Structure 1
């Protein structure tokens, strides 16, 4: 009798456990379905406005490719306004978009001041603002891009190790900036100088802006090599621009003497330049991954559904150092 009772109780408990498990399973499935429905409701049909400095270069075209594809997959619309390297066009485009009221505005700033007032105005108009790779003096809902100060500090520390007089080198460095008022130039200059601080054997003998132009970088470098034939390193703020400096070094027959440092996106021509000795040490931030990070940030902002200006989020891009030893298959075509 006791055995039958135990079996009956065990059987009842098992049925209840199974039933409870089924309810829990149904609850979990329902929760997942509700979560997905909430995600779709927050994202589908939304409009992203994208204002790059210019199209037709791997940096911005890579971002656009990723953002456009993912937006389409999510049922979102990506509208682009090409500033065509014109600060006036960029300002006009952003001000016009504020009146159109997209859900999200993504901008690639020319400098730290140009859009500061307009970006504040966009948030006040109810538009989320994501700044990509170069941030304004006005910090918006989110920034996605490189940690340029720390990237430059890393390049500077590498230069100290390779070019100091303790290594039998001159310690002379040429510093080629992009635009002096851009966030990248300001932060990379700070990081480089911080790395050199306290190292008396390292000296920046040339410090000029090439305005992101490889031809200007080539001219600056040719002149620097004439003035300082024992130059040890060149550090430039953007790979495609710094390739002009590397070409000047090759033309002067000084590739074995001068190490070329730079940073930026990683299309195949950058890896080819490293293989060819036009660039030597390259701090790579993958712009295709940055495009995905932008879209992830947008999805989070839309789902959190807080008023624009509530958050000040930052997503700093992972960095990989490329040189001849590891450059194979590190760039996208």
Structure 2
């Protein structure tokens, strides 16, 4: 259903990319909360979408600082941008940033991280963290096959929508499977070193651990470091392998799937998200209505068995963003 919505949105915005309607006088400000491998993929996808729509972008990185992000947004407004596409660092501050933009008659679109109040922005597009969390939970329930099963749940940042719902919806699925025990829930704030510490502590307390949930690919760095040190970094199907599910579809995740070290990854549709965000920003900048205010897209599940077949749909596997 989400894919159908995206196609409908793209069709409604098709006039924006037609040669006669190229928006050569539009500059879009792009404000990111931070930069790492996933954000690099998102920036490349935005650059590609901007080129398709014939608009320029001005990019700023807030470096995990809400005040810096607000200041950078104000600076971009003073430079004359007609719209802003932001990945908020602080979901509450994003509401204020949107108000600042609107006061200057500048459209404000959010990407990936939802603001605290979706009605505050002109458009939001992101992955569907609940759908991804449920898919992970269903995988672990099936892997347990009715037998006692111990799971370490690493959690992302619990101050944003992705972190909260990737955890909440996993837990809701597993609550119906009493044989699956979440032995630890470890908030990581999206930091791989916290994933490392959480994995180390869980294995010390539960040497019979069966599985690990890493809700973002960068967390795998910490997980693999511990497993390798303990001689537990085994491929899917090998004796002693711990079932691992992650989310993102970044190059790190794709390589881990290709190498057989994780059972499933859920690839966020980065290319589709960037296209929808830029298209909406251009439409809003031109004073035209946006047909839909929010769009959430579930990830593409892929495994060692079908990674070659699905590689073109995974932004971190394919040579270019999808």
TM-score normalised by L of structure 1: 0.78
1:332 aligns with 2:279: no
1:318–1:148 distance in 2 versus 1, CA, 3 Å? closer
Deviation string, structure 1 residues 41-77 (Cα, Å, up to 9, x no partner): xx2211100011223x332222222322443454422
Report what 2:181 is aligned to.
203
Q: How many residues align?
A: 291
- Structure 1 segment 72-111 matched on structure 2, within 5 A: 72-111=51-90
Deviation string, structure 1 residues 154-188 (Cα, Å, up to 9, x no partner): 11111112125x2x3x3221111122202111111
Structure ranking higher in helix proportion? 1
Are the aligned partners of 2:127 and 2:269 in contact in 1 as well (CA < 8 Å)?
A: no
Deviation, 1:220, is 1.1
TM-score normalised by L of structure 2: 0.80
Deviation string, structure 1 residues 114-142 (Cα, Å, up to 9, x no partner): 32222233224322111111111121111
Distance 1:111 1:176 in 2: 21
Distance 2:258 2:53 in 1: 39
Distance 1:322 1:122 in 2: 39
Aligned partner of residue 39 in structure 2, secondary structure: helix
Distance 1:180 1:262 in 2: 17
- Structure 1 segment 124-273 matched on structure 2, within 5 A: 124-139=103-118, 140-163=121-144, 166=146, 168=147, 170-254=148-232, 255=234, 256-267=240-251, 269-273=252-256
Deviation, 1:98, is 4.0
Are the aligned partners of 1:141 and 1:312 in contact in 2 as well (CA < 8 Å)?
A: no
- Structure 1 segment 14-29 matched on structure 2, within 5 A: none
Structure with greater Cα Rg: 1
Deviation, 1:99, is 4.2
Report what 1:47 is aligned to.
27
Distance 2:245 2:306 in 1: 15
Structure 2 unaligned runs (5+)?
1-13, 235-239
Report what 1:28 is aligned to.
none
Q: Structure with the greater relative contact order (CA < 8 A, sep ≥ 6): 1 or 2?
A: 2
1:116 aligns with 2:63: no
Report what 2:296 is aligned to.
316
Distance 1:73 1:152 in 2: 33
Deviation, 1:105, is 0.7
Distance 2:205 2:52 in 1: 55
